[in-house]
């Protein structure tokens, strides 16, 4: 590690990895700080290794470093790399399932090859503004370390760096539930009596030995979880998960839910050998807080496909708000031809200088955030944040004052898709 950096990226998840690579490739001295021992966030530690969506309406709308990492992962494992099908007017977007172990290793390799330094098992303890940027106090396994930086990128997903800087956050009264990713086996899904299972589940829920959210996103029917072999099928109430206390409660409750499910299934005919092969080391958090940004993306703007003057990237995903207490999902597909953008102002906390946010805590209302929180838009935001941070550190200009032409030129140099480059009428 160096004694000072141009850019410090807090959080090595879906956005932070890309930000660190982009800033490093642009010539900045970069430190990437990650609280766990693995890069990749939801795609690795969280087990949701199926990013979406790089393609929309027959075009590739998110590319650059995120796409490079996914493409390399697919190539390493012998999977076909999809290409946009320009003959299809309204392609249904699809997730790209990939090997999370290979992806995590490639993240390490790519960050280091970009010249960026990497520090695992550390997190910010304090952030203070300085004359030429910021001073960050990092909590490491051997104590606190103070490191100056010209620009900070908050890619924690929870706006932890923004909060430490004393800037305003938006805390919704209700947040989406989390999910603990797992894999189940030891049974034949086609040999089960679905009706008897649902009746048994209803009885267990009434008796208090099982919760409906342990086995389903909606209602009391466990057959979806069993047929998906546990994949992304449960809900865990996770309020205030931006804090250590809230995250602790969510992790404990997630494993309690797994045990309730496990005990219930093993008492059912045909499931006597049911087992949980693995669970992820972290529960997957969908929503905590957002920043109070210089611009706020509303769901009306998102669903209308608003093109902001300072748009830095595209986003393409349905409104996907998971509801609490087994109520299902508020899910709305974008209308044909709609292609939303993310403005720079939504990535900049109000009243801030030299601080950029990338990832799910971007300034947005709850329904817009339910679409922006997913992995591909976070990758695109990460690359935009890395580009702006490198330019800001080099020129001394605040990220808000950077000419958009300069930001776009750097992003294009690293193969990102820049808003305005796509003509859906062609």
Exposure class string for 409-421: b at 16+ Cβ within 10 A, else e: ebbeebebbbbee
Locate 309 and state its tokens: 């003057």
Predicted confidence (pLDDT) per residue in 228-249, tens digit: 999 999 999 999 999 999 999 9
pLDDT 10s digits, 303-349 = 999 999 999 999 999 999 999 888 999 999 999 999 999 999 999 99
Threshold 0.75, pTM exceeds: yes
Of 341, 385, 424, 425, the C-alpha closest to 60 is 424
* φ and ψ at residue 293, rounded to 5 degrees: -95, 175
Pairing of strands 355-357, 55-56: unpaired
- Rounded percentage of the chain residues whose pLDDT exceeds 90: 92
Mean pLDDT of 174-203: 96
Label each residue of the chain as H, E or C: CCCCEEEEEECCCHHHHHHHHHHHHCCCCEEEECCCCCCCHHHCCCCCCCCCCCEECCEECCCHHHHHHHHHHHHHCCCCCCCCCCCCCCCCCCCCCCCHHHHHHHHHHHHHHCCCEEECCCEEEEEEEECCEEEEEEEECCEEEEEEEEEEEECCCCCHHHHHCCCCEECCCCCCCEECCEEEECCCHHHCCHHHHHHHHHHHHHHCCCCHHHHCCECCCCHHHHHCCCCCCCCECCCCCCCHHHHHHHHHHHHHHHHHHHHHHCCCCCCCCCEEEEECCCCECCCCCEECECCCECHHHHHHCCCCCCEEEECCCCEEEECCCCECEEEECCCCCCCCEEEHHHHCECCCCCEEECCCCCCECHHHHHHHCCHHHHHHHHHHHHHHHHHHHHHCCCHHHCCHHHHHHHHHHCCCCCCCCCCCCC
Residue 89 · residue 127 · CB < 8 Å: no
Q: Which pLDDT score is estimated for 282?
A: 97
- Res 82: pLDDT: 87
Q: 10 Å Cβ neighbour count for 109? A: 12
Over range 159-168, report the average pLDDT: 98
As a whole number, mean pLDDT of residues 378-405 equals 98
pLDDT at residue 93, as a whole number: 59
What mean pLDDT is predicted for residues 40-55? 95
Minimal CA–CA distance to 242: which of 175, 289, 179, 281? 289
The domain segmentation of the chain, as residue ranges, is 5-173+288-413, 182-279
| pLDDT classification of 91: cutoffs 50, 70, 90 | very low
- Please state the rounded mean pLDDT for residues 187-209: 96
Pairwise CA distance, residues 98 & 49, whole Å: 6
Whether the predicted pLDDT of 269 surpasses 50: yes
The per-residue pLDDT for range 101-119, each reduced to its tens digit, is: 999 999 999 999 999 999 9
pLDDT, position 219: 87
CB 322 within 8 A of CB 373: no
Q: Give the Cα separation of 250 and 387 in Å (integer).
A: 34
Q: Which residue in this structure is represented by tokens 């909606």?
A: 218
* 57 phi, psi to nearest 5 deg: 55, 40
* Residue 389 confidence class, pLDDT cut points 50, 70, 90: very high
Contact 273, 39 (CB under 8 A): no
Predicted confidence at residue 95, as pLDDT, reads: 87
Average pLDDT over residues 375-387: 98
CA angle 323, 184, 262 (to 5 degrees): 75
Mean pLDDT for the chain? Answer: 96
Task: Report the CATH superfamily, name and number, of domain 5-173+288-413.
Answer: FAD/NAD(P)-binding domain (3.50.50.60)
The confidence score (pLDDT) of residue 202 equals: 96
Q: State the pLDDT confidence band at 58, using cuts at 50, 70 and 90.
A: confident
């Amino acid at each position: 590690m160096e004694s000072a950096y141009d850019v410090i990226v807090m959080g090595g998840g879906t956005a932070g990895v890309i930000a660190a690579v982009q800033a490093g490739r642009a010539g900045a001295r970069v430190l990437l700080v990650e609280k766990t021992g693995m890069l990749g966030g939801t795609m690795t530690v969280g087990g949701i290794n199926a990013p979406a969506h790089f393609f929309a309406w027959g075009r590739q709308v998110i590319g650059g470093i995120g796409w490079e990492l996914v493409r390399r992962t697919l190539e390493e494992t012998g999977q076909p790399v999809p290409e946009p099908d320009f003959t299809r007017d309204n392609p249904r977007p699809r997730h790209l399932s990939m090997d999370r172990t290979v992806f995590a290793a490639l993240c390490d390799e790519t960050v280091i090859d970009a010249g960026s330094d990497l520090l695992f098992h550390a997190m910010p303890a304090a952030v203070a503004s300085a004359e030429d940027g910021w001073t960050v106090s990092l909590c490491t396994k051997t104590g606190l370390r103070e490191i100056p930086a010209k620009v900070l990128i908050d890619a924690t997903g929870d706006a932890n760096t923004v909060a430490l800087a004393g800037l305003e956050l938006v805390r919704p009264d209700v947040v989406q539930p989390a999910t603990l990713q797992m894999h189940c086996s030891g049974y034949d899904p086609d040999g089960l009596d679905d009706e008897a299972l649902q009746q048994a589940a209803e009885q267990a829920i009434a008796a208090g030995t099982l919760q409906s959210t342990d086995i389903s996103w909606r209602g009391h029917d466990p057959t979806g979880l069993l047929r998906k072999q546990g994949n992304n099928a449960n809900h865990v109430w996770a309020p205030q998960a931006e804090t250590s206390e809230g995250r602790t409660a969510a992790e404990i409750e997630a494993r309690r839910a797994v045990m309730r499910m496990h005990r219930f299934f093993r008492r059912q005919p045909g499931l006597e050998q049911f087992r949980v092969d693995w669970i992820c080391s972290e529960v997957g958090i969908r929503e905590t807080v957002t920043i109070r940004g210089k611009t706020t993306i509303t769901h009306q703007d998102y669903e209308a496909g608003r093109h902001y003057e300072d748009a830095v990237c595209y986003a393409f995903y349905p409104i996907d708000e998971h509801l609490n207490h087994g109520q299902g999902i508020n899910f709305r597909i974008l209308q044909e031809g709609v292609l939303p953008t993310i403005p720079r102002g939504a990535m900049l906390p109000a009243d801030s200088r030299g601080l950029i946010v990338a990832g799910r805590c971007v300034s947005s209302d709850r329904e817009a955030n339910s679409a922006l929180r997913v992995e591909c838009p976070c990758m695109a935001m990460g690359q935009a944040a890395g580009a702006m941070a490198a330019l800001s550190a080099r020129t001394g200009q605040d990220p808000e004052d950077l000419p958009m032409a300069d930001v776009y030129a750097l992003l294009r140099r690293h193969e990102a898709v820049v808003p305005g480059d796509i003509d859906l009428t062609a």
